[in-house]
Structure 1
Amino acid sequence: MKDTNKHQGLRNQLVKLLSQKGITDKNVLEAINKIPRHLFLESGFEDFAYQDKPFPIGAGQTISQPYTVAFQTELLQVKKDDKILEIGTGSGYQTAVLCVMGAKVYSVERQNELFKKTSTLLPKMGIRPKHLSFGDGYKGLPNYAPFDSIIVTAGAPFIPQPLMAQLKIGGRLVIPVGEDVQVMTLLIRKTETQFEKHELGDFRFVPLLEDKN
């Protein structure tokens, strides 16, 4: 679990790159600058950890490229103590970014192998989400709702109704929607029944899996 000056130097360069690509939220950039992304990857990828690229993390899943993590996080407009639902814990990197920003994170992972790995890794790094659970992301976590914001880190063919229902009025849901290529979609809940929708460009994500267990 080493984090060296060399790693920090590479993170500084990554943050500069993200700024050049248009990320302006200082809290997002600071969180990315603090978190040792190399610790979330298999050791074979360690030397590439601070490139702006996705990498495989096992179970057919990937760790999103840093720009995507930063872009989604910026859309959430995270404030300290926000209660955030994350669908797709994956490697735990996005979870860590939100925790370092002071959010109370509730995260759901569908792959048991990743769930076990991340449940062990995050506490070792001193990162403590409020709740990690193994289950179906399409259902969210109704027992813990409502949430200030919800982030989905896998491509969904549609926006799951339960997630919309678990969002506070004024809350923000960030979700990539589509089959092969996804459109980054932001929903802002205006009233019990009304949502404002913004579409913010094409991305590629692994698919959001339904519960087959």
Structure 2
Amino acid sequence: MNAALDLARARFNMIEQQIRPWDVLDLEILALLDEVKREEFVPAEHRALAFVDMQIPLAGSAAEAIESGQCMLEPKVEARIVQDVHLKRNEKVLEVGAGSGYMAALMGRRAERVISLEIEPRLVQMARGNLARAGIANVEVREADGSAGLAAEGPFDVIVLSGSVAEVPQAILAQLKVGGRLAAIVGEEPVMRATFVTRASEAGWTTSQPWDTAAPRLRNFPEPSRFRF
């Protein structure tokens, strides 16, 4: 069996064995996962892990990558976020945490425009290169600290925090349009919740936390104070 067939089978197995059982049932999302080649967004030294149900380091060892937040989330988590945030073709998206550019690539295929903020210069270059090779032209990766969002270019239809936070800053929620949605992974180890916030009106918000997961921290977001005795 040639390499292309091996990759196609591995991708098919990822979709059918990991992603569908995680309630990712939107046929357009499943087709998108087949079209956007995940292995092309994985560092060369970890390409054999592209379809494995695990977080993949983007820098250094696995422990270092998770500690610094520099890793790709599990395929099922990425797919479920993209499905559950309900992107539309005419929408503008802000992502915080570009990583390798894979999540931005998926969202770029669903939305009109994606701006992805990445604080780590090496990952900015990685994401830009990966997106260019994939031919995705409606995603812009900027080197920036995304912990305050990007108010100057808001409001946004969708905001995705591609990592975990202790809580979602109100300053970022304020950058949503009315009707806009935010996705984040919120909480502390070992229990974190996928959190979806919709701006129902200028001063009204609805929140759901439909599933549990865990993810490395995004840098520079506020942490709750911890008392030490």
**Are 1:42 and 2:43 an aligned pair?**
yes
User: How far does residue 99 in structure 1 lie from its aligned partner after superposition?
Assistant: 1.3
**Are 1:161 and 2:170 an aligned pair?**
yes
1:1-213 → structure 2 map (5 Å cutoff): 4-17=4-17, 18-58=19-59, 60=65, 61-180=70-189, 181-210=191-220
- 8 Å Cα contact 1:110-1:137 kept in structure 2: yes
User: How far does residue 87 in structure 1 lie from its aligned partner after superposition?
Assistant: 0.9
Q: Describe the superposition over 1:176-213 as per-residue Cα deviations: whole angstroms up to 9, x where unpaired.
A: 112324211111101111100111232111111018xx
Work out which of the two has the higher radius of gyration on C-alpha atoms and give 1 or 2. Answer: 2
Gaps of 5+ in 1: none
Gaps of 5+ in 2: 222-229
Distance 1:10 1:162 in 2: 41
Distance 2:114 2:5 in 1: 29
Distance 2:153 2:30 in 1: 28
For 1:43, give the aligned amino acid.
Answer: A
User: How far does residue 173 in structure 1 lie from its aligned partner after superposition?
Assistant: 0.6
Cα RMSD after superposing both structures: 1.7
- 8 Å Cα contact 2:93-2:111 kept in structure 1: no
* Matched-pair identity in %: 26
The alpha-carbon distance between structure 1 residues 202 and 20, as it changes in their structure 2 partners (threshold 3 A), is closer
User: How many equivalent residue pairs?
Assistant: 209
User: How far does residue 94 in structure 1 lie from its aligned partner after superposition?
Assistant: 0.4
- 8 Å Cα contact 1:138-1:162 kept in structure 2: no
Distance 1:165 1:97 in 2: 25
Greater shift, 125-134 or 148-157, is seen at: 125-134
The alpha-carbon distance between structure 1 residues 197 and 102, as it changes in their structure 2 partners (threshold 3 A), is closer
User: How far does residue 109 in structure 1 lie from its aligned partner after superposition?
Assistant: 0.7
For 1:10, give the aligned amino acid.
Answer: A
